[in-house]
């Protein structure tokens, strides 16, 4: 054997492996020889050698993927089912999606919105539909934007009608200035009583003396300690301050009228 031939065989052996598979068919032994090229021009193990050459192996362009697969970045991929290459090379599906027939499909009760699989039943960014976003502070419950438990929708804002002074006890029910909302009712500061549309001190207020709408008379009487009291010598007769020394209807005391034509002087009918 010449030196040149020996050298050529050695080079061929360094770049080629023989894989022999024996099978039995009808009593005979069949030997299949598959050329696997190593080094810089090898065919990947997951590819099929399309060109079996007896004169030095196959080049990379001679290697093809199995039927139904496509070469992506040097690997054979099924673009119909591979979530990293769905429909095309380097076209990954979003997290939670599967690749079916080359299309990314979200699994379970999730829906594809943009490049994400979301729950339209609970996602406040995609509530009921992909392009429906719940206002700030709201939850997505059964595909509907709702206020959290304990809050009420008042004009598009979630509020607590138990404590909100602008919606006390219900929407658009504001409390008076200076009052607070407690358990859904407007409450005056400690020591004051709400009478109508104002907070008053019933210990001294002559229009609400001792209680709301309990007004003292108009003859200079005052409210002291929640009781209407008259000034000077006047007496309180029927919630009216009178001078019993000269008043013929209360001469000498309340409800002591003089006879017709008489006058009251010094508390005596004359």
Give residue-wise pLDDT tens across range 136-188. Answer: 889 999 999 999 999 999 988 899 999 999 999 999 999 988 889 999 999 99
Q: What is the arithmetic mean of pLDDT over 77-102?
A: 89
DSSP codes of every residue in 146-161 = EPPTT-EEETTEEE-T
Give the max Cα distance, the chain.
170
With vertex at residue 131, the alpha carbon angle to CA 124 and CA 156, rounded to the nearest 5 degrees, is: 55
For residues 104 and 119, is the Cβ–Cβ distance under 8 A?
no
Map out the domains of the chain as residue ranges.
3-64, 70-107
Q: How many CB atoms lie within 10 A of CB 261?
A: 7
Q: How many CB atoms lie within 10 A of CB 14?
A: 10
Per DSSP bridges, beta strands 75-77 and 70-72 are antiparallel
| Spatial CA neighbour of 48 closest among 25, 68, 23 | 68
Distance CA 243, CA 201 (A): 28
pLDDT grade for 134, boundaries at 50, 70 and 90: very high
pLDDT for the residue numbered 28: 38
Q: pTM for the complete prediction? A: 0.44
For residues 175 and 168, is the Cβ–Cβ distance under 8 A?
yes
Give residue-wise pLDDT tens across range 61-78. Answer: 556 888 889 999 889 999
- Does residue 50 have a pLDDT over 60? no
């Amino acid at each position: 054997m010449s030196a040149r031939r020996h050298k050529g065989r050695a080079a061929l052996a360094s770049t080629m492996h023989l894989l022999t598979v024996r099978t039995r068919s009808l009593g005979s032994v069949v030997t299949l020889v598959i050329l696997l090229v190593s080094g810089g021009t090898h065919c990947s193990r997951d590819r099929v050698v399309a060109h079996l050459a007896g004169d030095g192996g196959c080049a990379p362009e001679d290697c093809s993927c199995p039927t139904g697969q496509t070469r992506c970045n040097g690997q054979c991929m099924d673009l119909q089912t591979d979530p990293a290459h769905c429909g095309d090379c380097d076209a990954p599906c979003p997290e939670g999606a599967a690749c079916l027939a080359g299309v990314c499909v979200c699994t379970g009760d999730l829906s594809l919105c943009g490049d994400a699989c979301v729950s339209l039943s609970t996602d406040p960014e995609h509530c009921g539909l992909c392009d429906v976003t719940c206002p700030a502070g709201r939850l997505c419950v059964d595909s509907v934007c709702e206020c959290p438990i304990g809050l009420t929708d008042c004009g598009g804002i979630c509020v607590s009608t138990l404590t909100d002074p602008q919606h006390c006890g219900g929407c658009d029910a504001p409390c008076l200035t200076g009052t607070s909302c407690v358990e859904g009712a407007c409450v005056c500061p400690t020591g004051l009583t709400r009478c109508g549309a104002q907070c008053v001190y019933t210990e001294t207020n002559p229009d609400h003396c001792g209680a709301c709408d309990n007004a003292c008379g108009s003859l200079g009487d005052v409210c002291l300690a929640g009781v209407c009291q008259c000034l000077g010598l006047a007496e309180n007769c029927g919630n009216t301050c009178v001078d019993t020394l000269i008043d013929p209807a209360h001469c000498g005391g309340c409800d002591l009228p003089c006879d017709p034509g008489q006058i009251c002087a010094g508390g005596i009918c004359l």
